[in-house]
Amino acid sequence: MVQTRTLAAPAAATRLTSLDVFRGVTMASMVVVNNPGDWGAVYWPLLHAEWHGLTPTDLIFPFFLFIVGVSITLSRRSASWGSIVRRAGIIVALGLFLNGYPRFDLATWRIPGVLQRIAVCYLIAAAAFKLTSDGDRRRQAWTLGGAGVALCLGYYAVMMLVPPPGGVAGDLSPEGNLGAHIDRALFGRHTWRPRWDPEGLLSTVPAIATTLFGILCGLILNTNRDAELKLRAKGAGAMAAFGSLAILVGLAWHPLFPINKNLWTSAFVFVTAGAAALLLAACYWTIDVKGWRGWTKPFVILGANAITLYVASGLLADTLGIVTVTGADGTEIPLGRSIYLHYFVPLAAPKNASLLYACANVVILFVPLAWMYHRRLFLRV
DSSP letter assigned to residue 376: T
Cis peptide before 102 (omega within 30 of 0): yes
pLDDT for 222: 75
The Cα 51–Cα 8 span in angstroms is 46
Q: What is the DSSP string of 240-291?
A: HHHHHHHHHHHHHHTTTS---TTTT-HHHHHHHHHHHHHHHHHHIIIIIIS-
The SS3 of residue 236 is helix
The SS3 of residue 103 is coil
Alpha-carbon distance values, 243 to 59, 71, 281 (Å):
14, 18, 9
pLDDT for 271: 98
Q: Are 259 and 53 in contact (CB under 8 A)?
A: yes
Q: Are 127 and 140 in contact (CB under 8 A)?
A: no
Q: What is the pTM of this model?
A: 0.92
Q: Are 207 and 265 in contact (CB under 8 A)?
A: no
Q: What is the DSSP string of 145-182?
A: HHHHHHHHHHHHHHHHHSPPTTS-TT--STTTSHHHHH
Q: Are 242 and 215 in contact (CB under 8 A)?
A: no
- Residue in 129, 124, 60, 133 with CA at minimum distance from that of residue 87: 124
Residue by residue, pLDDT tens for the chain (381 residues) are 445 454 433 333 346 889 999 999 999 999 999 999 999 999 999 999 999 999 999 999 999 999 999 999 987 555 689 999 999 999 999 999 999 999 999 999 999 999 999 999 999 999 999 999 987 888 999 999 999 999 999 999 999 999 999 899 999 999 999 999 999 999 999 999 889 999 999 999 999 999 999 999 999 887 655 555 656 677 788 999 999 999 999 999 999 999 999 999 999 999 999 999 999 999 999 998 888 888 999 999 999 999 999 999 999 999 999 999 987 778 899 999 999 999 999 999 999 999 999 999 999 999 999 999 999 888 766
pLDDT for 366: 97
Burial 104-121 (b: 16+ CB within 10 A, else e): eeeeeebbbbbbbbbbbb
Helix H or strand E encompassing 364? helix 350-374
Q: Are 63 and 26 in contact (CB under 8 A)?
A: yes
Give Cα 276 to chain centroid, integer Å.
11
